Each structure stands twice: as structure tokens, then as C-alpha cells.
A and B are shown apart, each in its own frame.
Chain A
Amino acid sequence: MILSRRTRIALRAAMVAGLAVVYLPLLLVLLNSLNRDRSFAWPPAGLTTQWWVRAWQSEGARSAVLTSLQAGAGATLVALVLGTMTAFAVQRHRFFGRQTVSFLVILPIALPGIVTGIALNAAFRTVLGPAGIGFGLLTVVIGHATFCIVVVFNNVVARLRRTFPSAEEASADLGAHTFQTFRYVTFPAVRSALLAGGLLAFALSFDEIVVTTFTAGPGVQTLPVWIYANLARPNQAPVVNVVAAVLVLLSVVPVYLAQRLSADSPGGRL
């Protein structure tokens, strides 16, 4: 398709303008974390690094980060196991209800977080409550794992689609038993897909707020919940700004890792 010079220039302008709109709010977050003024008067009267020091010392922020890491690790682990099992079942077997299984895996992320959140909340209260298990970190992990399964599933299914069972058959012909074949042939083939899926699952869990709100116990505050709770407190606002800036800076890490991990699609499969 031969585009006129003017069309090309217009398209480039749209691209530049679009990226500018995408990145300016993020730059604003970085700048605001250095704003000397407590109420973020714009433009900032001066810059300071004192909020970064205060954020580093903030107990609330530290324990929230720890809780988020724990919840993310737990949810990722469960999602890796369940997502991989489902992916192998769907991709390597033909059975009645195969489509339904794929649909069931996607459902928790397709429905609004608040619906998943209050559904789990109601179920935990009626089922776990009488059993003496209250809301806590465990319920958060259960909630997060439920919607994280799909990203592991998608990554592993995509990988299995491109690897053929002939290597596994060859391994069996050479005398390896099922577990050896899995360990030495199948697992290495899907390893990077597992890493990419696990990374996405962890990021999804780390960023989640709605399901967390409805499944967390009173003492359990993940980082997003902590940020949300402290947004309205003028006293905490500068610290929240620093945490926000750190999260913006850290978003480069998973993109870099995902880029190196999976050659098939940038950033893994959503």
C-alpha cells in the first residue's frame, strides 16, 4: 500500500502524540514523588528526596510489600500447577467437554473483578466460616490463583501447540518411562513458557485490588490495598507518591524479562 507523504507524517504524528499521552501521566508520578510541596501544588515549587527516605522507613509500606510478595508467590505457585495440568489435558487429549474446560479457565478473568470478589467473599463466609477458617492471606491466595490460572494455561497451551509429541514418543521408544520423559523431554520444552506464564501471573496478582479487597482479612494489606487506603490521607500522600514512582520504575523489569523469555510474543500472552 503506497501512502502519500502527508498520510505518513499524519500517522507518525498520531503515534508520537499517542505515546506522549501514554507516558506523560507516568512521568508525572515520578516527578511528583520529588515534589517538595505536600499538597502537590502544580507546578512544583521545588524538588526534594526526603519523601524517598521517609517511604523507605515506612513500616506500613514495607509490610504491604511483604504481604503482596507472599500472596503473589502463593497464587503463582498454585496457578503454575493447575494451569499446566489443564493445558496438558486440553492440548494432549481429546475428550468431551474440552471447550467447556477452556471456557471455565477464562471465566474468572472475563467477569468483572467485583463479581468474582463478592462471590468468593460470600462463599468463604458460608463455607470456610463455620469450619473456623477466617479471612486472611490464605483466602487472598485462593482468590488470586483463581484468575491467574488462565495466563499460565494460555502460555503453556501456546507452547504445546508448537511442540510435537514425536519427541516424547522417541523418548519412550528409547526406554524412558513416563516420568523420565516428562523430566528430560517435555519439561525442558515448556520451561520458558512456564516462566513467562508465572511472571504474568505474579504481576497480575501483585497489581490486583478488587478481588483482594473482598477476600483479605482485616489485618492483611497488599500493596495496592495499602495505596488505596492511604490515597486520601494527606499525611501519607508523599509516601504513597514514592511507592507509586517505584512501581512505575519497576514495570520495566517484567517487560525486559518477558522479552528475553519468550520469542513467540512480546510480553507473553495475555
Chain B
Amino acid sequence: MAPPPTAARPLRRAASVLHRRAGLRLALLLSAPMAWLVLAYLGSLAVLLLSAFWAVDDFTYDVERVWNTANFSTVLTEPVYRAIALRTLGIAVAVTVIDAVVAFPMAFYMARVARPRTRKLLVVAVLTPLWASYLVKAYAWRVIFSQGGVLDWLVGPLGLSSPGYGTTAVIVVLAYLWLPYMILPVYSGLENLPANLLDASADLGASAGRTFRSVVLPQVLPSVFAGSVFTFSLSLGDYVTVRIVGGKTQVLGTAIADNVTLNLPLAAALSCVPVVLIVGYLLAVRRTGALESL
């Protein structure tokens, strides 16, 4: 066999060096992504955390690099911020509970009742709205909740009226937006349930209700927790939906956004609240083994 043309030689030599040295391969593979994630991302987060310890000049609104913890004590002690944090937490919990309650029967129908052909179609039907713009969906609900809007028109004959823009609207819209994130993990949890477990339960004389309580629910609970990671964290950090349908409702997201331009240190301290809550929730959920089913 003729020797390879000279241009190909350095390439082949590089290839053989890479082939022999797995450590070098790994280092090259990791270099660029880690440079990006550690420098660009963790670096930014560090800058943000650091600026939470700075102060703002009361007159010029300039950031002064004076080390202090006043921002954190403001966030922790001011009743306004405590109320905002509790409200945000309440919204996130309500959204998660609503989504779990709505998603479960739908996922159950998809996984256990529908025929295989229909099942495929239903999965696509649940998934498609995820691709429709987030903003457009929130906006559609703004039209629905508006005064004299669709909801008023719908429930008006019953003597009711739309709750208008506010906390209720925020909960409804967030639950709507994140519903597919709950349905999909619960669906795959239910689908992976071995049929013979259910048969065994029936053979031992359990009614459908008893099988559901004692076999299905304990097995699928981790999937519900997996879905709740999405619904809970996404609700905690949201601020655009709140701006669109929340009226004057203040949540952590809007409080952070409001402070960014005039008081970045306070905004930075405030943003530690959802981060701590989300990381705490992730750690708590990890103990149930739910994160493996993501």
C-alpha cells in the first residue's frame, strides 16, 4: 500500500495520539463546554451573588462596592418581601396541586384506557401546545380574562363574572402553561407500570379502587414528583405571565425585575430566594427517587 499523501499525515498522527490517550480526548472534549459553563454561567452567577453584598447610593442610584449584608436583611425582615415570597410560594404550590389533579386522570386515560393508536395521537395532542409560543398562550388568557371578554360572556348567563386580572388569573394561567410538563412524566410512569402487578392485585381480590390506592398510586407517585419539579420551579421564577394577567400582583419575579435597574444589589439578594427554594425542593424530591424518572 502506498504511503498516505503528506497532507493526510499530520491528521493521522493526531488521530493516533488521540486514540492512545483517553485522558487527552476527555480533556479536549470537556475544555470548551466547561469554559463556557464555568466562565460564562457560573462566573455570572458569582458576579450576581457578589453584587448582593454591595450597596446603592440613595441619590445617584450608583452601585457602591461597599461590603454589607443589608440587602439580605431587607429581604428577610421587610414585611413586603416576606408577603411577596409567601404569595409566590402559595402560587407555585397551588399550580402544582392543580396540575397534578388535572393531569392524573388524563395521563391515566392515555396510558391505561386508550387504544395504542389513540394513545399515540393523544401524546402528540398533549405535546403540541408546548411548542406554541409561551407568550401567545399567556396573551390568549389575557383576552379570556379581560372585562367583557370570553369568560364574562361564558359565565355571565349564570350570574357570575370573570375574576379579572389578579392572583387567581395567575394561578389558572400558570397551571395551563405547565400542564403538559405534568402529564408527560405521569403518563410514562403509568405506562411503565407492569400489567401483571395489576392482575395480581385483582387476583388477590382487590377492587379497582383498592388496586389504585395500594398498587398504582405508590408506584406512580415519583412520576408526579418529577412533574412537580417543572410546575413548581417554573411557577416560582415566572414574571412575564404575572405581568400579563396578574394585574397588580407582585411575586418574586416581578419584584426582582422591578429592582434590576435601580437597585441591582437588592434584586440580586431577592433572586437568592427562588434559587434557594428551588434547590431545596430539588433536594427534597431527590430523596423520593423522582429525579431518576425524569
Interface residues in chain A, defined as those with a beta carbon under 8 Å from any beta carbon in chain B: 1-4, 7-8, 10-12, 14-15, 18-19, 21-23, 25-26, 28-29, 32, 40-43, 78, 81-83, 85-86, 88-89, 93, 95, 101, 104-105, 107-108, 110-116, 118-123, 126-127, 142, 145-146, 149, 172, 177-180, 203, 207, 209-210, 214, 224, 227-228, 231, 240, 244, 247-248, 251-252, 254-255, 259, 266-267, 270
Contacts and interface: CB of A to CB of B under 8 A. Distances in A.
Given A28-B143, A29-B140, A115-B48, A85 B33 contact: yes
Interface in B58-108: 102, 105-106, 108
A32 to B, nearest CB: 6
B32 A42 contact: no
A89 B208 CA distance: 47
Contacts of B126: 19, 22
A146 B40 CA distance: 8
Nearest to B4: A177
B204 interface: no
Given A22-B129, A25-B144, A120-B44, A115 B33 contact: no
B274 interface: yes
Contacts of B198: 1
Nearest to A245: B136
Contacts, number: 253
Interface in B276-294: 278, 282
A207 B134 contact: yes
Contact of B124 (A26, A248, A255, A270): A255
B127 A1 contact: no
B228 interface: no
Interface of B: 11-12, 14-16, 18-19, 22, 25-26, 29-30, 32-34, 36-38, 40-45, 47-48, 51, 102, 105-106, 108-110, 112-114, 120, 122-137, 139-144, 146, 148-150, 152-153, 176, 179-181, 184, 198, 201-202, 208, 211-212, 216, 233, 236-240, 244, 253, 256-257, 260, 264, 267-268, 271, 274-275, 278, 282
A89 B282 contact: no
